[in-house]
Amino acid sequence: MGFCTLYRCICQFFLTMQIVWGLDTVKILNPPEEALPDHLLRILYSCDGAATVQLECVVSFETGTISTILLRQWNCVPKDPLIKTVKLNLPDWLVYQSDRIVPDSLRVLTCFLRASVRYSGSDDTKRSTGSQDVASLQPKPFFSRPFKQHQLCTAWSKQMLQLRQRFLQKQCPLEQETIHFLSAIYASTGENFGITKTLDPHRNELLEHFRLKAVSFPWCEFSMWIFVTRHCEDRLCGVFHHIDSHNNYATPALFLKRSGQLHIQISGVSEESSAFLTSFTMPLKKWCQLSLALHGRTVTVSLVVTDNEERTVKTSEHVLNHTPMLDDTEGYFVIGGGKYIRGVEGYFGPVVYYRNRVPYSMSEDVIPDVIKNTNLTGWLQSCEEFIFDITVKISGFTLKAKPEKKESCFDVFHEWIAMERHPPNSQCELWEEAAPRRRLAVQLAKLLVFKHGGAAVSPSAVGRALYALSVHKMAKTSSSAVVSKILPLLLQAGCLADKRALHMSSVLYSTGLGVQKHPIKAWLLALLAAQRDDRLALLHLGHIHQQGLHGFPRDPDLAYAYYANIAKQTTLDRHNPTPQQTFVEAVYLNNDEALNLQTNEDHHIFQWLKLQARRGAAEAEQALARMLFWGQQGLSPNIQEAVKHYRRGAVQLEDPVSMYDYGIVLLLGHGVEKDVPKGVTFLKKAMEQGLVPAINALAWYYEQFEKDYEQAVQLWEKADFLGSPDAPLNLGVLHSQGLYPGKPANQYVAYKYYLKSAERGHMRGAVFLADIWATGIPGHVERRPSDAVLWVKWTAEQNGYLGNLLRKALDSYLKSDLFLSLLFYMMAAESGYAPAQFNAAYLCEQNVAGFLEAAYATRCMWRYYNLTIQSQNPETYALIRMGDLLYEGLDGRPKDLFSAAQMYSLAALSNNPQGWYNLGLLVEEGYRLPLSILIELGLSELYIADKNLLLSALYKRCRDSDDTDSYVPCSLALFVVFLHSFEKCYITAVIKVSTAVAVVATPTVFVIVLGVLRRRMYDQDS
């Protein structure tokens, strides 16, 4: 408890006693929370004798000085308590920003109002103090204060000068003194992944001056919302910590211990540090607001626990025996886990850093909307009740299934449960009854128990069965109409710890496929799955926060935390292949050639490759081994069978690629018994034939097994020179760890090698590069969080579990199960994988046999084609179709010809002749292409030219493209343009000739007519 709070409580106690005993009284009834101008303050007062009531403002500055300002005073005579309303006229330098009239002030640390009753002594200069009351005011940050509207009569020239200065007054929208490190919810898996944040120095000189002065006298607060699902299994787990430029822990560092207590570490100016434990422990499965406030040498840790409508406040205070140091611009802050420590298991809510102030109180803080709307606590409580119910049912079924216990239904505990739920005269079998929505789950539990002969069945096994049943039902019906009935089963499976069910439910709510679209529920389910380390859910959340979708904040640091997790798992999964993993293949459903290459072990393509391999074709052996090892082109992974092809190619055909692959599986023991000497022999043979990957692999052998770093470096440098992506990665690791012979550790040199490896397409090189870009290297490499996200996203999208999902989607499509194919593609599309987004849009566009409602198909097509074109290398067909949608203006949207022309031009520049053709159609319809588009197309000189000239240029480029299918339609369009041009020219020529003839013939005709008229007149006269 702070001094001001304690002092105020004491004053309130004595005030109560004074009212009871009839002594002098003073009470501030409505104090403001902040230092505000012109606040109407109400003060209750009374006195026993003639006295004076004084209202003062007491301010303490960063220099340690304290100033007392008298605001108001008035006389008091003995009578009943009175209430006086006064205008609170605080000093201008306390409530306004400085301008040429309001002076600057020192940094204010604390401020409070003091009302007191004063009695005169024998000497008027000596006054005794009776009752008094205090109220704390929170000083407003300097740039959050208003400007004062001065009521002064000034010269016109001075008014203009002040007006100009006000317009030129430096604003600070990007230098807020309250920093929101996290505005959403982060699902922490308890691994070495977290959210990295850095702060820059203030550009404003005054703010930077205050910040530097506060480095050795910090006056700030870190506040965060946290939901812990399990206490730390290690000695310490990361909650929030600060890493300096030397990779040491800096102020502050908060860790969670096994006991549930918080370990707080504060670093000092002279490189000393202090640590202490909180007197309280972190509760489990409850949202808590954790705050750490630094008041110079005093560290206060507060915890507000929210449990339904109850709020519990716990506080722990510690006084340091050294001067603390907090330079918030050095190094970086980490929320959760980091490079050097695992994070807590649970969820992080909004995290706020009050950079130069400590908020007044936590007692009136409200739960953030993002936490209330998500309702994580409500979901977990309902799940716990459901799990308990299923567990009781499983126990009853287990006892019932055992023959020796057939006579009795269940033990005393279950009998007690049954008595609680049913009347005493109910039958034994009534305990099996369940709510209608849970009946199927109970039946599955019973089936599993009896199937295993009464053996114990876990609730998670029931969850897996519910998920499998849900997918089977959707595959059987192949319609979105059944989704609303199956979704409760998926949610129950998710409650019973099936991560796949949680992710599928999240996608259904996110896309609105068969159910009402609900982004908040979708986000909650994705958070639950991601916290359990589901790879696809991690991808989904990373995509949401990279793009800022569904109204959630765009946060590259938060997106990086998710992507880095699955990217690291992807590199590990590659070394531990399982049947659940499949090589990620970007197969587009509009590409018939790629679809025709999909095969299986009975397909003619696979059989033809086997025939070629038996005839001694090394390329066929390589293809068969690769397809079987990684599960490519429609085959399921079969590592043992793949090794046979590796062995045949290496031993019988002496193919260097097969010798390399066989040597690697022998070194690692994949699908074959580990045999290092034999593997090295094959690698050397492959290297002798000039295979670069074999050079890299041998270097790895010397480094890992022989510890011969000189030989390893020599081989890696050779492989690096020959373009190997693995070699620069390994050289970078040696430089980073100080293992490069004769050279000290050098992170910057390592960074350059990682960059080279990543640019050559190595996944681990990309992960290491992104890790450096996420934090930077002081003095060498600036922090680049957005670029770091792109690298880990690229790596994460190579994950074998994503490949397995894509394989299911493609297999369903080839089997004409379009609904299930769409669902699987949507699951991958919501994770941000561009080919899956394209395929989902394509399926919605085709909508074969109307398996989707027309309105939903249009929205789906619009959404996923729109997402596809935002990828780095969008499929040109998506650009064409997006252009068509913009041209047609479907789904209640107005036509947008300019955006449609942009889409067509992008497709045209990507060598798609349809783009040129569609641009021509726009021009034929009378739309004038903007100059900006013509400049991009290299046709700016035709902006003011004749329309037929522009059409000729567009259709010629369409005709001359590499796509032979476009030659005929583009040639016909060009021929029509020539006909129009010829027709226009012919008509013009006829008009010109006719005009010329008319001009030449008119005088002659006139003379003839005149002669005829004269002759007639002559004849009449005669």
For the stretch 133-187, pLDDT in tens is 888 888 887 777 888 877 656 566 666 655 555 544 544 445 667 899 999 999 9
Segment 413-432 shows an average pLDDT of 47
Rounded CA-CA distance 581/306 in Å is 42
What's the pLDDT score for residue 940? 87
Compute the distance between CA of residue 741 and CA of residue 762 in angstroms, rounded to an integer: 24
Nearest to 613, CA basis, from 599, 603, 600, 624: 624
Query: What does the DSSP assignment read for 480-498?
Result: GGGHHHHHHHHHHHHHTT-
Contacts from 476-484 at CB under 8 Å and sequence distance 24+? 477/819, 478/817, 478/818, 478/819, 478/820, 478/851, 479/819, 479/851, 480/513, 480/514, 480/819, 480/851, 480/852, 480/853, 480/856, 481/514, 482/514, 483/508, 483/513, 483/514, 483/515, 484/514, 484/515
Determine the Cα–Cα distance for residues 1015 and 487; give it in Å rounded to an integer.
106
* 3 has pLDDT over 50: no
Provide the angle, in degrees to the nearest 10, between the axes of the packed helices 459-477 and 483-495: 160
CA angle 640, 642, 648 (to 5 degrees): 110
Once rounded to an integer, what is the mean pLDDT over residues 424-434?
A: 54
In whole angstroms, give the CA distance from residue 13 to residue 147.
39
Name, in order, each residue with C-beta under 8 angstroms of 135's C-beta and a sequence gap of 6 or more: 8, 28, 31, 112, 113
Give the Å distances, CA to CA, from 358 to 159, 291, 300: 38, 10, 11
Identify residue 1 by its one-letter amino acid code. M
Residue 728 has pLDDT above 80, yes or no: yes
Q: What is the pLDDT of residue 124?
A: 47
Query: Residue 107 has what pLDDT?
Result: 78
Residue with tokens 């006054």: 127
pLDDT digits (tens, 9 = 90+) for 353-409: 998 888 865 545 588 999 999 999 999 999 999 999 999 888 888 888 776 544 444
Q: What's the pLDDT score for residue 213?
A: 87
CA distance readout (Å), 666 to 443, 661, 672: 48, 9, 7
Q: How far is CA 854 from CA 466, 816, 858, 868, in A?
A: 31, 19, 6, 21
Share of the chain above pLDDT 70, in %: 85
Instruction: Show Cβ contacts of residue 49 under 8 Å, excluding neighbours closer than 6 positions.
Output: 78, 119
pLDDT of residue 849: 85
Least confident of 443-457, 563-577, 826-840, 987-1001: 987-1001
User: Which tokens sit at 986?
Assistant: 């012919």
Task: Tell which residue, 327, 133, 132, 315, has the closest CA to residue 246.
Answer: 327
Q: What is the largest distance, in Å, between two alpha-carbon atoms of the chain?
A: 154
Look at residue 205 in the predicted model and tell me its pLDDT.
Answer: 81
- What pLDDT was estimated at residue 407? 44
Question: For residue 602, what pLDDT band results from cuts at 50, 70 and 90?
Answer: low
CA 777/CA 759 separation, integer angstroms = 20
Residue keyed to tokens 């609303």: 484
Res. 614: pLDDT tops 80: no
Distances (CA, A) of 795 to 400, 584, 762, 773, 789: 51, 11, 9, 15, 10
* CA separation for the pair 507, 496 (Å, rounded): 18
pLDDT value at residue 669: 84
Quick one: which of 701, 655, 649, 656 has its CA closest to 679?
A: 701
Nearest C-alpha neighbor of 32 from the set 148, 182, 139, 109: 139
Strands 194-197 and 186-189: unpaired
d(C-alpha 148, C-alpha 929), whole Å: 53
Task: Report the alpha-carbon distance of residue 493 to residue 467 in Å, rounded.
Answer: 6
pLDDT digits (tens, 9 = 90+) for 618-663: 777 777 777 777 677 777 777 888 888 778 877 787 888 888 888 8
Asked if 381 and 195 count as a contact pair (C-beta separation under 8 A), the reply is no
Which residue, 527, 552, 553, 550, is CA-closest to 538? 527
Higher-pLDDT residue of 965, 161: 965
User: Hey, which bits of 77-218 come out as E strands?
Assistant: 82-88, 108-120, 127-137, 178-182, 186-189, 194-197
How far is it, in rounded angstroms, from Cα 837 to Cα 561?
23
CA 244 to chain centre: 25
Chain segment 979-1006, per-residue pLDDT in tens: 877 666 555 555 655 665 566 666 666 6
Start-to-end C-alpha separation, the chain: 139
Distance CA 764, CA 748 (A): 17
Quickly list DSSP for 825-868: HHHHHTTT-HHHHHHHHHHHHH-GGG-S-HHHHHHHHHHHHHHH
Least confident of 162-166, 944-948, 1012-1016: 162-166
Residue 22: half-sphere exposure toward Cβ, Cα within 13 Å: 5
* 416: confidence class by pLDDT, cuts 50, 70, 90: very low
In DSSP terms, 736 is beta-bridged to none
> What pTM, to 2 d.p., does this model score?
0.80
The residues, ordered by sequence, that sit 6+ positions from 505 with a Cβ below 8 Å of its Cβ are 487, 490, 491, 494, 525
Question: Encoding tokens for residue 720?
Answer: 């690096």
User: % helix / strand / coil in the chain, to the nearest 5?
Assistant: 50, 15, 30
Asked if 239 contacts 226 with a C-beta cutoff of 8 angstroms, the reply is yes
pLDDT of residue 361: 59
**Strand residues in 758-800 grouped as ranges (E):** none
pLDDT in tens, 818-873: 999 999 999 999 999 999 999 999 999 999 888 899 899 999 999 999 999 988 88
Tell me how far CA of residue 817 lies from CA of 183, 510, 808, 813, 849, in angstroms.
41, 22, 11, 6, 12
Task: Dig out the tokens for 76 from the structure.
Answer: 């008091």
pLDDT above 70 (res 769): yes
Q: Report residue 304: phi and psi, to 5°.
A: -110, 120
Q: Where are the beta strands (DSSP E) in 258-324?
A: 261-267, 273-281, 287-295, 298-307, 310-319
Contacts of 663 (CB under 8 A, 6+ apart): 650, 678, 679, 680, 681, 682, 683, 686, 694, 697
pLDDT score at 284:
93
63-97 pLDDT, tens per residue? 778 888 998 898 888 888 888 899 888 888 888 88
pLDDT for 645: 78
Average pLDDT score over residue span 232-246: 93
What 3-state class would DSSP assign to 122?
A: coil
Q: Enter the tokens of residue 699.
A: 């270097």
- What is the model's pLDDT at position 164? 56
* Share of residues in the chain with pLDDT > 90 (%): 44
- Residues contacting residue 765 through CB under 8 Å, at least 6 positions apart: 725, 728, 729, 732, 754, 755, 756, 757, 758
pLDDT for the residue 409:
46
Containing 236, the helix (H) or strand (E) segment is strand 236-243
Mean pLDDT calculated for residue range 487-513? 94
Helix/strand/coil for 229: strand
Q: What is the pLDDT of residue 16?
A: 47
User: What pLDDT, on the 0 to 100 scale, is given for residue 242?
Assistant: 96
- The reported pLDDT for the residue numbered 412 is 37
- Summarised one tens digit per residue, pLDDT across range 328-346 is 999 999 999 999 999 999 9
Average pLDDT across the chain, whole number: 84
Q: In 3D, which of 866, 887, 888, 890 has the Cα closest to residue 878?
A: 866
Is the confidence at residue 12, as pLDDT, over 60?
no
User: What band does 903 get if pLDDT is binned at 50, 70 and 90?
Assistant: very high
Distance separating alpha carbons of residues 870 and 992, to the nearest angstrom: 54
- 506 class by beta-carbon count within 10 Å (0-12 exposed, 13-18 middle, 19+ buried): buried
User: Residues 193-216: pLDDT tens digits?
Assistant: 999 999 988 888 878 888 888 898
The answer to whether the beta carbons of residues 511 and 550 sit under 8 Å apart is no
Q: Please tell me the predicted confidence (pLDDT) of residue 236.
A: 94
Higher pLDDT, 480 or 20: 480
Q: Cα dist. 324→147, 222, 264, 783 in Å? A: 35, 15, 13, 27
